[in-house]
Amino acid sequence: MSRKKLTVYDYLKSKGKRQLSAIFVHNVEEAKAAEEAEIDMICTSHDAPQFGVNTSFEELKRIREAAPNCFMQSGGSVKPASEYEAMKLCHKYQSIGADCVYVGSWSYKWIKALRAENIPMNSHVGLVPGNATWIGGYRAIGKTAEEAVGVLRHTLELQDAGAIGVEFEVVPPKVAAIVTKKVNIITLSMGSGSDCDGQYLFGNDVLGYTEGHMPRHARVYRDFKKEHARLQKERIDAFKEFHEDTINKNFNDPKITVGIEDKEYEKFLELAEKI
């Protein structure tokens, strides 16, 4: 497969011309699938088991290699302690091939400083999980005129600070459509309708293996939870059969062992008797 990988320039120029597909991937297998499916953008994180992300930073390198033609966003669940640490973290992501960095709950001040260093960043508007306590928990944002205007202002402020895009999470589609038209940066919908610049889903939701609460905005395309359960039963049965074959000494099968000619075996017996 050969296709042109999006640059930041292409990413921004796609606005109003075509929809972008973005999937959060948890491992190399999902990254390979995204590459083969020609997904535009993969999103990654690491070391966040509280959010179901057990990927290590080292695995991000392998994910990058597995999906070389996908625009890649990387980010962590822990906010850096300072602007300097934020800068170091961004350079660390860029060093493994990340095209942009997720800065969902970082300050405008930090975003401006990072943009001055030409670091591409995507932020977050609406239901921002990292700021859930400030908005009364995990809820839709923008259902009142005042909140809807707040979403617009927030997006414009992020644009002015230097973000190249935002994840638009659980904002009413009518509101998201207006904001998308009023800004120059990319808006990726997470339950905010088809009038954003693209759609963002998590691989575990798409594949149906999410544990616990399934987000309202998620869309399931396959039932991997059922398939995983089936595969686990097959693993157990296979291990049981191996265990039984071991006990019953069923490993003299000529298909998996090597033989010795009778003449050589008789000679071996003679020699063995002398030892």
Query: Over the chain, what is the mean pLDDT?
Result: 92
Give the integer Cα–Cα distance in Å for 24 and 205. Answer: 10
Per the annotation, the verdict on 169 as an active-site residue is yes
CA–CA dist 129, 191 (Å, integer) = 14
HEC per residue, 131-164:
HHHHCCCCCCCCCCHHHHHHHHHHHHHHHHHCCC
Q: What tens digit of pLDDT does each residue of 67-111 get?
A: 999 999 998 777 889 999 999 999 999 999 999 999 998 999 999
Query: What pLDDT, on a 0 to 100 scale, did the predictor assign at position 153?
Result: 97
Q: Which of 36, 147, 169, 241 is catalytic?
A: 169
Tokens of 25: 């991937």
Nearest partner of 46 among 36, 58, 37, 35, judged by Cα:
58
For the chain, give every residue range classified as CATH 3.20.20.60.
8-222
* pLDDT tens readout for residues 114-131: 999 999 999 999 988 778
Q: How many whole angstroms from its chain centre is CA 25? A: 3
pLDDT at 83: 94
**CATH (residue range 8-222):** 3.20.20.60
Write down the pLDDT at residue 241: 96
Measuring CA to CA, how many Å separate 79 from each of 76, 110, 199, 261? 7, 11, 25, 69
What's the pLDDT score for residue 49? 61
- Calculate mean pLDDT across residues 131-152: 89
**SS3 call for 239:** helix
CB atoms within 10 A of CB 126: 28
Quote the pLDDT of residue 1: 47
Mean pLDDT score, 140-163: 95
